[in-house]
Structure 1
Amino acid sequence: MSDSDDSIFITQSKENGCLSPIESDLILSEVLDMVESADNKQKTELQPSFDLKSDLFSDISDEELLKATQLIEQNEPARFSVPLKQSDLDNLVKSGLSSKTEKKSKWAVNMFDLWQKNRNKNTDSFVPNNNLINMSSEVLNETLGYFIAEVRTISGKEYKPNTLYEIIIAIQHHLRQQGRLINFLDDAAFDGLRRILDAKMKQLSKQGLGMQRRSAAIISEEQENELWNKRILGTETPQMLLDTLLYTLGLHFALRAGQEHRALRVGENGQITVKRDLQNRRYLEYHEDVSKTNRGGIQHRKIQPKITRAYENIAKPDRCPVNIYEKYISLRPRNCKTDALYLRPLKAPTAICWYCDSPVGVHVLQQTVGNLCKRACFNGHYTNHSLRATAATRLYEAGIDEQLITEKTGHRSNAVRGYKRTSEDQLMQVSGILHGQSDQSKKSKTENFSSDTGSTFQELNLTSGSMSLHLKFTGK
């Protein structure tokens, strides 16, 4: 370094990272001492204690450094995706929508179009042939009022009241997706439509249509034992193991229908893991990612996903959820490409592989519980949702706190109470009380006691079915 240099340039080596604060302060202090000595024309030259070829610094030129940086960037994987088109963004938006909602919306719009053409063909009282999107709010209010009052099923029967409501909401969803941000239930412009819809629903309700909602039946413990005893549930064959896994996971994790089952994955991003607690007890832990009430989008960003456990069944190892899950995982194909949990059974299974590298379809999964109960000759409406209802009902009957039940089901409101089904034993108990049967009606028993202090007290025991009340009265 010559004496004529006006500045001192220090290039920091990428290999060894940044200097520590102490090293930086020491070097700067010595450089300042050199400058001060030069100003005072001291004869003794102070040299800073660093070497440009040491481990801390590099004498690489700026040109070489630029080339090295460019080379690194060329070798790194692409940081951004390839440029997208508008059609790609449209498909991305569609992928975030509920497929069931979109199908229902398309069905409602197609039915409106069919009604529109049929009405104009068969009557002199025409309705506008315009597309729903192009209708003004005034025309929409009038046209949809006629539509909701006249729409019928393919067989010519009336729709149920709730179905009419869903048709209007489905059409509203279609309009919103096309940029028409309207609200049929709140906007003043659609007051006429609301009045007609309300009156039509009341009229149908008076006729007894739609008063009873078809709910999935619960599976009693006796029925579940029957499924095992008839070897409908078990782990002996590929199909039996697959059905039993779905039944077990659906019951212990309170999963919905078939879509949540279809969304289950294995591998790096799997939702189910085998763990042990502090007492070394094994359990399956389920981490929910998306569901009906948690789509993972902007509106649900603050929702805490459901996390629940299914502990091992030591008393009945053949029915243990951990054992069933581990056996199924062990019989999946090695190096499986699909990450779907449920795979199709092989027609010719081997000792180490029972399933092929192909996922089971969502429609097949949706029918699993119904088919199992049909084979057992159970009477009632049984679906995969029966497992969710069964889980909540059993926990209610066992006296489990409602908060723990919502943690199991994933409900974010008191909607979980809708799963509290009245059992046949409870119905018989109520009927017995009204019959005045002595063994079912209220019973009371009073006993008198005396103590050494001379005071007396009474104990009153009241019982009604499974409930009991114990009262104690004291006196002189």
Structure 2
Amino acid sequence: MKKRFASHTDQEIEEKRKKTVPYNTQKMNTHCAETFRKYLEEKGLETNFEEFDETKLAEALSHFYTDARTVNGQAYKTSTLENIRHSLNRYLKSPPFNKHFDIITGPEFLDANECMKTALKELKQNGQGSINHYPKITDDDLAKLYMSVYLTPNTPSGLLNRVQMNIRLFFCRRANENFDQMTKSTFQIGKYPDGTRYVYKSEDELTKNHQEKQKALITGHMPEDKINSDLCPVRLYELYTSKLNPSNNRLWQYPRDAYQYGDESWYQNRPMGRDKLASFLKCLSQKVPLSQVYTNHSIRVTGVSILGQGFSMPQIMAVSGHRSTSSLALYQRVSDTEKQQMGNAISNKIIGQENLPMLPSTSHTLRTLPSCSSSLNPEQNVCSLVPFKRNLQSNSVSVLDSDNGRNALYAMDDFNPEDFFSDFDSLPDVFAPARNSMITNQRGQGIFNNCHMSGVTINFNFVQK
């Protein structure tokens, strides 16, 4: 009689439990356990900490948290020390140890965790609290990458790189997570009511953020491009999957060394491994080359940052798989350009021009300037200035008539402030003090008072040398 239920030994159950832990997490857990073991060995203590009871382990951890150093003897960063504690906790809870206590929340480890807090505060005070986030791919680098020969879809390697880059970017994939396990059925092509096609993830997967309790399928959509049909991501995905080796079910396969465009298959019966996929963007960064060497996680950062410009956090989380808005917020990077604009906003507020985010970047040429004279004519509201043939960033110059409170405006093109200031030493000595002008006979240099630049008032207050 055929049995209904399966049978597993204790060892088989433990092996199954191990397989549910991501490879990189297992690797980190083991590495941190060995670091703690080396610390105990250096201190002349027992190294089999897996067999310690809670009291003995807590005492050892209290000293370890404050004594921990890198292989070079340098203090860890706060984030690294916290990761070591979490890794040790996972290590002890995993097979074959299966500890039931928790070194982070357990009451037996209260004193040890107070030592941890002290160590973190000290590191923070010593400048070890900063975190080096994965950089977002700059707009220039992203365009350069997609226009490079390494992503041209007319060759097996170029088609492979372009489709993989699209999958990583459109779906905001986490670095190397499960890429070596993807198959030809991981993604499918769907159709919107208007007939537009799109690629979506059709199979559920176990990820770092979503374990056994996750019910909803986390996926974005990669819609077709009907305008640029040659580079349409849906068409290229179809082409790529149609050229995969039929004898292998894996999605990412090595390209053949020799091929013809009309060949049925462009790829070998040889799937790409974890290490090869992990170096995807790093290798492309060096080959193209890009302005810096990026890693695969930068693609996720870039995708989330792009979506952050126009979509809400819950919408982005449905694509990226983040479990909380606080973790997603770490990906909302502020660019240097945006920081410059914020800095300019503060500067403009200081000088009373809070409505302008920054000075205009366009240049204008000086069109009309009055002839040289020594005074301001209140009847015509014209100021006598030495004619300039220089570049200033301004549409007009306003000189205030101090008696009448009126401004004389002069249209300018191609106006460069640096050239403006450089001309002051060569000005002829023609400025004579006048009752109704702001020119004085005191020695000094020309200064801005209130400029009129693209709607912002600027007055030139000239001081005679």
Q: TM-score, normalised by structure 2?
A: 0.69
* 2:69 alignment counterpart: 152
Q: Does 2:291 match 1:379?
A: yes
The Cα of 1:306 is off from its aligned counterpart by 0.9
The Cα of 1:318 is off from its aligned counterpart by 3.1
* 2:388 alignment counterpart: none
Cα 1:293–1:134 shift into 2, 3 Å: closer
Q: Is the 8 A contact 2:54 2:109 kept in 1?
A: yes
The 3-state SS of whatever aligns with 1:419 is coil
Give the letter aligned to residue 240 of structure 1.
G
Cα distance in 2 for partners of 1:313, 1:229 equals 17
Give the letter aligned to residue 119 of structure 1.
K
* 2:205 alignment counterpart: 290
Cα 1:294–1:188 shift into 2, 3 Å: closer
2:41 to 107, 117, 136: 117
The 3-state SS of whatever aligns with 2:308 is helix
1:332 to 233, 240, 244: 244
2:277 to 348, 365, 369: 365
Cα 1:294–1:195 shift into 2, 3 Å: closer
* 2:85 alignment counterpart: 168
* 1:434 alignment counterpart: 346
What does 1:66-465 correspond to in 2, within 5 Å? 84-120=8-44, 127=45, 129=46, 131-177=48-94, 178-209=97-128, 211-266=129-184, 270-287=185-202, 289-293=204-208, 295-297=210-212, 300=213, 302-334=214-246, 336=247, 338-350=248-260, 351-380=263-292, 382-397=294-309, 399-414=310-325, 415-436=327-348, 439-440=356-357
Q: Which runs of 5+ in 2 are unaligned?
A: 360-465
Q: Is the 8 A contact 1:310 1:321 kept in 2?
A: yes
Give the letter aligned to residue 108 of structure 2.
A
Which entry has the higher C-alpha Rg, 1 or 2?
A: 1
Give the letter aligned to residue 406 of structure 1.
M
Give the letter aligned to residue 247 of structure 1.
M
CA deviation vs aligned residue, 1:204-234 (integer Å, no higher than 9, x gap): 111112x332222222443222223332322
Q: Is the 8 A contact 1:288 1:307 kept in 2?
A: no
The Cα of 1:81 is off from its aligned counterpart by 8.2
CA deviation vs aligned residue, 1:179-218 (integer Å, no higher than 9, x gap): 3211222222212211211111111111112x33222222
What does 1:10-21 correspond to in 2, within 5 Å? none
Cα distance in 2 for partners of 1:372, 1:348 equals 21
Q: Is the 8 A contact 1:249 1:321 kept in 2?
A: no
The 3-state SS of whatever aligns with 1:259 is coil
Number of residues of Structure 1 aligned to a counterpart in Structure 2: 350
The 3-state SS of whatever aligns with 2:89 is helix
The Cα of 1:284 is off from its aligned counterpart by 0.8
Cα 1:296–1:204 shift into 2, 3 Å: closer
Give the letter aligned to residue 103 of structure 1.
K
* 1:22 alignment counterpart: none
Q: Which moved more, 1:227-236 or 1:188-197?
A: 227-236
Cα 1:87–1:179 shift into 2, 3 Å: closer
What's the Cα RMSD here? 2.5
The 3-state SS of whatever aligns with 2:76 is coil
CA deviation vs aligned residue, 1:385-411 (integer Å, no higher than 9, x gap): 2222111211222x2233322222122
Q: Which runs of 5+ in 1 are unaligned?
A: 1-72, 121-126, 443-476
Cα 1:400–1:422 shift into 2, 3 Å: same
Q: TM-score, normalised by structure 1?
A: 0.68
The 3-state SS of whatever aligns with 2:175 is coil
Q: Is the 8 A contact 2:219 2:320 kept in 1?
A: no
Cα distance in 2 for partners of 1:106, 1:382 equals 27
The Cα of 1:255 is off from its aligned counterpart by 0.9
The Cα of 1:253 is off from its aligned counterpart by 1.0
Give the letter aligned to residue 180 of structure 2.
R
The Cα of 1:292 is off from its aligned counterpart by 2.7
Give the structure with the larger helix fraction: 1
